[in-house]
Amino acid sequence: MSDLSGLLAITALGLSGGFFIFYFSRMTNELADQIVTGFIGDHPMPPTQRWLKFYSSWVSFVTGGVVVVFSVAFAVLIIADHVGHADSKLLAYLFAFLLSIGAVMWLVHGTVQFISYRSLLRQAEAD
């Protein structure tokens, strides 16, 4: 792989991974707002639908997002092995590190939110 095509691939993957983090964070936050408030637009949701939306949609978005971002970081590292220029490798390692930090933070944040949303849904069900 030439240095220019490697650099372009590294940059494209790194930026797309960052975009992915922000896009799916927004999607999961909007979904979480629906779960917490119990409304989709102006329509109320029964507790069973809130639980279903929580486990089938929100949890799968967060876990899938973490897996995809780690995969993109791994792909950047694989491309770094095929690029000969040291600065391109350094950029690849930087993108892989930043994407991994983003994925770990999303995993930690998702775990904390998972615990709090479960508690909130149990409390809402009891009321």
Q: What is the mean pLDDT of residues 110-126?
A: 91
Q: What is the mean pLDDT of residues 58-69?
A: 92
pLDDT, tens only, 23-60: 888 999 999 999 988 898 889 998 889 999 999 999 99
Q: Domain ranges in the chain?
A: 3-126
- Residue 44, classed as helix, strand or coil, is strand
Is pLDDT of 124 > 90?
A: no
pLDDT given at position 86: 85
Is pLDDT of 1 > 70?
A: no
pLDDT given at position 3: 76
Query: What is the DSSP-derived secondary structure letter of residue 40?
Result: E
Q: What is the mean pLDDT of residues 4-13?
A: 87
Contacts of 27 (CB under 8 A, 6+ apart): 61
pLDDT given at position 105: 93
Q: What is the mean pLDDT of residues 91-95?
A: 91
pLDDT, tens only, 97-115: 999 999 999 899 999 999 9
Closest C-alpha among 65, 46, 48 to residue 113: 65
Q: How many CA atoms lie within 13 A of 76 on its CB side?
A: 30
Give the percent of the chain with pLDDT over 90.
50
